[in-house]
Chains A and B, each alone.
Chain A
């Protein structure tokens, strides 16, 4: 998918280059952008190291599992047929915690485990859709990488966007859950997709 995206961008660049005769600029960007990529990597590396280290302490000291416990009533409410303490609920809670804390590494594997668990329960499709929208709404407590990016570009207050981010994520998660709830209905999961 990424390869297709890159080719689309390049073809669009050539078309626009033909229209605007901006080949000189395109050429400069083609040669110079690789340095920007490494620079961006360096900026991100610092904050990824800092938060990677802190989040590992959070995991080891029980902060992550405490957040998981706080989530359990919410999980019972959003996911149909889970009682909050079964294996599927635990897997969902681990995944949501990983997302909340911005543990990029843990988010995908815990998500895969969670959808596999949900798949064994009733309402599998509905619950998988719920997990997907909760994941793609990107609810996170501290937007680490965008904070680093803002700081790198000279923001005077890199994390001033936090309240706006939280409101936006929560609202889009809510809209996603409402849509999933309506589309998958209250019934069981036997119907074809």
Chain B
């Protein structure tokens, strides 16, 4: 048994229980939130159709393998599986694109393999960096400076390298 197998069931129980303690109408609030979740998922599907088609063609053509083999040596030196390289390229630019790429990757690689776990950790611990910077500088009507890109890129690279390192250290 793994400790992490307990976390999700316990979190669900605690949230519901605490809701009852604080006299929240848990069924009503849950349904409202769940309905919003369903709408969000439905809104995600149209762009996923286009992205999955593009990612599918990209992968099937062998282009993903070509990219992996070009950067494969450098990645291997960092202990990073080259299967996950296309994910690294898409992740900072598009969240739904990365989701499509991760889904494609996990159909060929088991999610419980080293590569599958690295892809999972990478997806969960990085974000659409360029998009976030674009949204925030757009909100301020200012051009994003180069320093913010350097800081964010440093954080991203740390995330990529560590996703492989943590999986290597935590799963044997």
Say whether B133 contacts A60, CB under 8 Å. no
Residue A150, interface by CB 8 Å = yes
**Size category of the binding interface on chain B:** 35 or more
Residue A58, interface by CB 8 Å = yes
Say whether B40 contacts A104, CB under 8 Å. yes
Q: For B159, list chain A residues within 8 Å (CB).
A: 137-138, 168-169, 171-172
Say whether A37 contacts B61, CB under 8 Å. no
Residues from 104 to 120 in B contacting A, C-beta threshold 8 Å? 104, 106-107, 110-112, 116-117, 120
Choice from B49, B50, B57, B106 contacting A150 with Cβ under 8 Å:
B106
Bound-state Cα–Cα, A137 to B132, Å: 11
A186 vs chain B, min Cβ distance (A)? 14
Say whether A25 contacts B60, CB under 8 Å. yes
Given contacts A1-B94, A57-B29, contact A179 B38 (CB under 8 A): no
Question: How many residue pairs at the A-B interface have CB separations less than 8 Å?
Answer: 351
A residues apposed to B, CB below 8 Å: 1-2, 5-6, 9-10, 12-17, 19-20, 22, 25-26, 28-30, 32-34, 36-38, 40-41, 44-45, 48-58, 60-63, 104-105, 108, 111-112, 115-116, 119, 125, 128-129, 131-133, 135-138, 140-143, 145-147, 149-150, 153-169, 171-173, 175-176, 179-180, 183-184, 193
B residues apposed to A, CB below 8 Å: 2, 4-5, 7-8, 11-12, 15-16, 18-19, 21-22, 24, 26, 29-38, 40-42, 44-45, 47-63, 66-67, 90, 93-94, 96-97, 99-100, 102-104, 106-107, 110-112, 116-117, 120-121, 123-136, 139-140, 143, 145-148, 150-152, 154-156, 158-159, 162-163, 166-167, 170-171
